[in-house]
Chains A and B, each alone.
Chain A
Amino acid sequence: MRHIISILLENEPGALSRVVGLFSQRNYNIESLTVAPTDDHTLSRLTITTIGDDRKIEQITKHLNKLVDVVKLVDLTEGAHIERELMLIKVKATGAQRDEVKRTADIFRGQVVDVTSTIYSIQLVGTSAKLDAFLAAISGVTILEVARTGVSGISRGEKVLSV
């Protein structure tokens, strides 16, 4: 099962490498990882998506909690949550395909954020599955570059992750 683990981490040198190191050291996989400081600059928020059965995820969260730099964490997939990922994608857009790409982007609520006579750069936000679906939808088009941020997320409703 895919899990999204969100972590509040001390914004200290070396902290990120401890988290990443833990995953490689214990043979856990990282599907995606995002990290940036929060409104409180002493804290970073880190979101990791990983795959594993319940026992593995329990071990992962226990070991993460053991890291001295980890202040708090939550497995977002345990409850209702919102997940988002941003993708920037550069495609060839010439001839008939130019309109086709634009239309598909509109359907997916993507925006063309840069354009030349032969190229569109499109920005798309959504769940990872939606981004995957968009890529599938334009599979006939020549894709020049894809940059995805990885998943970020928060819980729905009153539940918050804070110190």
Chain B
Amino acid sequence: MFDLVKELTGAFGVAGNEENIREVIKNKIQNVLDEVYVDTLGNLIGVKRGNGKKIMVAAHMDEIGVMANFIDEKGYIRFSSIGWVSPFYALGQKVKFKNGTIGAVFYEEKLDEMKNLKLSKMYIDIGAASRAEAEKKVSIGDTAAFVGEAVQEGDMIISKALDDRSGCAVVIETIKNLPKTENEIYFVFTVQEELGLRGAKTAAYGIKPDIAIAVDVTLTGDKPESKPMEVKCGAGPAIKIKDRSVICHPEIKKLLEDCAKRLNIPYQFEILEEGGSDPGAIHLTAGGIPSGAISIPCRYVHSPVETANINDLKHAVMLLRESLV
């Protein structure tokens, strides 16, 4: 599982630029499923045919990042964010453009107080001596992802883009261990989740499933002086009850809870006070699709050191698999 997570988190896929990660995932699922295709927005969809219920499984393959928007005469690059990027998380980090160019992210030293740090006061230094030199490697409009190679310490994985490559890993493992079922299952690796759940919306409309289950990360309350939240790393996958974008359908919540009980695996319930997720778009689509989610508890979400427990991923695979039968 760790090797898969490492490979997936290492692939480039800033929202709107998911080509690389899509290729990586496609290669892993294409011989296992009945059909694999890419839709108009770039969602990767793998289908297991059947005559039963139509189930959509969604994990977003895009990641947050930055976009170059100005290069000054000295070759420093100004940028804006793709998805929600905290200036504090970005400070002192490395970013990597799609062509492999790496840059340091730092800030204007004139800043009076650190709490006033904004992305607009920051820049990327790719070691170029002039605008002309910088432009050989980076054009405005190019996107870059944060650098943060996956490592494992005990049961914990630390990496960039666990949001939501950990979810992609759970779905890929499920595809490789498909349960026997008559259900027709659409495994969707969605694009542009970080820009407002956009891929999931068109995928759901195209598929019109009977129900949908997403796999994504959620926040936790288990850090020093955390905001109170019951979800903990290592206490099992979380069954989503609500976030800012959706109240999960009671039937899907019950389905997942019944599966977890049947498997006798640890599980928890998630109430997320901030942020949305793919079910938020899916449940409103095409006359209403009952939707829910399996969430992987993850600390420091949207930083290059996102941290999750590998056992929660393994249990999430078991839970997802059971829910598809």
A and B are interacting partners: no
Query: Which residues of B are in contact with A by a Cβ distance under 8 Å?
Result: none
